[in-house]
Chain A
Amino acid sequence: MGGLKEVLLEAMANETAFTIPIFGGIGISQSVVVSWLIMAVLMAVTLLLTHKLKVRDPGKVQIALECAVNFLNNFAHNNIGKHWRPFAPYLGTVALYIGFSNIIAIFGLTPPTKDVSVTAALAAMSLCVIYGAQFRYRGLVGGMKEFASPVWILAPINLMEVAVRPLALCMRLFGNILGAFIIMELIKYLMPVGVPAVASIYFDLFDGLIQMAVFVFLTAIFTGEGIKEEE
């Protein structure tokens, strides 16, 4: 069973892809490299799809694109309220990045979201968006007061949430993707033929997309909670 142990350890480890030999060596992890790859592909596809949009008589691809953007806008509007506009692009960016990161294992790459540092960065960004929006749209005093809502006695819990929310976002995403990745590695080790393809549909595709939706949805809801009633 030595091989199995090795597989498990390898699945859990975050490899360093290469090291930049300055400041005593900056290790660039594999997750960052895969992220760059994902970003490059997303950017290239974006430029390809949006370089000639037409106001009149859009093509099928453009209609699909518009439907998706429209869906995103509606989603942001429903969950965030009237100040949804600046948040929709961020939510869409995070959705695309996490979505592709989660399902990249299908193409044989290591999902960046299996690295807790990446999910921590995503959660930190969500933290900034959620509480940044709260103070941006309510002012310093209003933002502070929001912590004492709906009643002042809940203030400790609300303050605790500042830490709990990003931690939960970070660990949920990381745990799900790492778990799915480990299970897939085990299946591949034990039954290399046939079963991985079927299991991959659930563990990589379905679970990955669900976790993406959960992350984006929670970020949107928390952001909306902070600024919604202000009308």
Chain B
Amino acid sequence: MLEFHPVTIVLTIVNLLILYAFFRKFLFGRVNAVMEQRKAMIEKDLSEAEAENDRARQLQAEYEAKLSGADQEAAQIMADAKARAERAYEGRMAQAQADADLLTAEARARIRSEREAMLRGAKQEVAALAILAASKVAQRSMDDNDDRALVDSFLAEVGELR
């Protein structure tokens, strides 16, 4: 029962060494290699994804900068257009105002001159009527200059009284 057989011991050691070499190569070697490869692959994928992420973030920042630039540009254009429109509007308004003022002034001048002409005509008519009436009263014609002056002064008196 407790006999040590040198042959068995040596053969068992040889067996173990063979089995060790075999497993090292075909079992642990292969499985570990696959696990290492997977680890490397996952690490590579991760770093790639991170790089991709960084790139995307950079692009986003770039686009945002560009967008805000465009916004500013648009605002600038709008402001310019508004300013130009305002200027044009004001110019147009001033022109219109001036035209209207001119028209008003012309119309007013014409009205005044017409009124004066009418007044003058009426005055003459009244003077003629007065002279006619006076000559009728005096039974004589009052068309000479003295009489006309008289009537004019009379009329002026009457105008002052009124």
Binding site for B on A (CB under 8 A): 12-14, 26-29, 31-32, 35-36, 39, 42-43, 46-47, 50, 53-56, 58, 62, 65-66, 69-70, 72-73, 88-90, 92-94, 96-97, 112, 115-118, 120-122, 124-125, 178
Contact = CB atoms under 8 A, between A and B. Distances in A.
Contact of B12 (A90, A121, A178): A121
B20 A90 contact: yes
B16 interface: yes
Contacts of B3: 14, 116-117
A32 B11 contact: yes
Interface of B: 1-5, 7-13, 15-16, 18-20, 22-24, 26-32, 34-35, 37-38, 41
B2 to A, nearest CB: 6
B22 A122 contact: no
Contact of B22 (A32, A46, A69, A117): A46
Contacts of B26: 43, 46-47, 50
Contacts of A36: 15
B16 A125 contact: yes
A50 B30 contact: yes
Given A66-B35, A117-B4, A121-B10, 5 more contacts: A29-B8, A35-B11, A69-B27, A92-B27, A115-B5
